[in-house]
Amino acid sequence: ADPQARKYLAQQTEAYFFGTGADAASGYVPPKN
pLDDT tens by residue, 2-15: 899 899 888 887 77
- Residue 22 burial class via C-beta count within 10 angstroms: exposed 0-12, middle 13-18, buried 19 and up: middle
pLDDT above 70 for 19 = no
Could you give the 3-state DSSP secondary structure of residue 15? helix
pLDDT above 70 for 29 = no
Q: How far apart are CA 13 and CA 3, in angstroms?
A: 15
21 DSSP 8-state letter:
H
**What pLDDT is attached to residue 9?**
85
Q: In the structure, what pLDDT confidence band is assigned to residue 30 with cuts at 50, 70 and 90?
A: low
**Residue at 28: amino acid letter:** Y
